[in-house]
Amino acid sequence: MQLSEIMTSGVITAAPEESAVSVARMMRDHRVGSVVVVDPAGSPVAMVTDRDLAVRIFAEGLDPEVRVGDHASRPLICGEPAMELDEAAAQMVQHRVRRLPVIEGDRLVGIVTLDDIAVRTGNLEIAQKMTAEVIEGALPQFYFRERG
């Protein structure tokens, strides 16, 4: 299975100059836990998660109007539409990320989350195992290939 088959294409993005409070409101309004930070040309450069906002900005007592680009997660770990799901899963676990922006060239075309993997593959057990391994930082076995 390729990422193009399970990715969500409507990705919420923000410019690096966007304020933390503005990005938090975007997350609330769109019911998402992350926003991809894009440069003026629309190329993805970083990711801001709800955890980034909580831990790096609000818990530190920073001004809610601080530029989100200065506190975003980098480097941005990405996949491509033709990437096989087991390769993407290995990458997510290796880099300990729960969300994988999908790019084609320099263009953001989608995002794959652990929830997407659970719902769209119909295999909640795999997503739970991946979540545990992302938290623990363990390397995955080849989840999505036939065993035999």
CATH number at residue 87: 3.10.580.10
Closest CA to 141 of 124, 131, 129, 123: 129
Structural domain harbouring 79: 3-136
Would you say residue 72 lies in a domain?
yes
What total of structural domains would you count in the chain?
1
Separation between Cα atoms, residue 9 and residue 53, nearest integer Å = 23
Q: What pLDDT score was predicted for residue 118?
A: 76
Would you say residue 106 lies in a domain?
yes
Q: What pLDDT score was predicted for residue 137?
A: 53
Q: What pLDDT score was predicted for residue 11?
A: 93
Would you say residue 144 lies in a domain?
no
Mean pLDDT in order along the chain per 10 residues (148 residues)? 90 96 96 94 92 91 94 92 88 86 93 82 68 58 44
Which strand ranges, in their side-by-side order, compose the sheet holding 44-49? 13-14, 34-38, 44-49
Separation between Cα atoms, residue 88 and residue 141, nearest integer Å = 12
Q: Angle of helix 124-136 relative to helix 114-121, nearest 10 degrees?
A: 160
Q: What pLDDT score was predicted for residue 91?
A: 87
Would you say residue 67 lies in a domain?
yes
Would you say residue 146 lies in a domain?
no
> How many of the other CB atoms lie within 10 Å of CB of 142?
12
Would you say residue 142 lies in a domain?
no
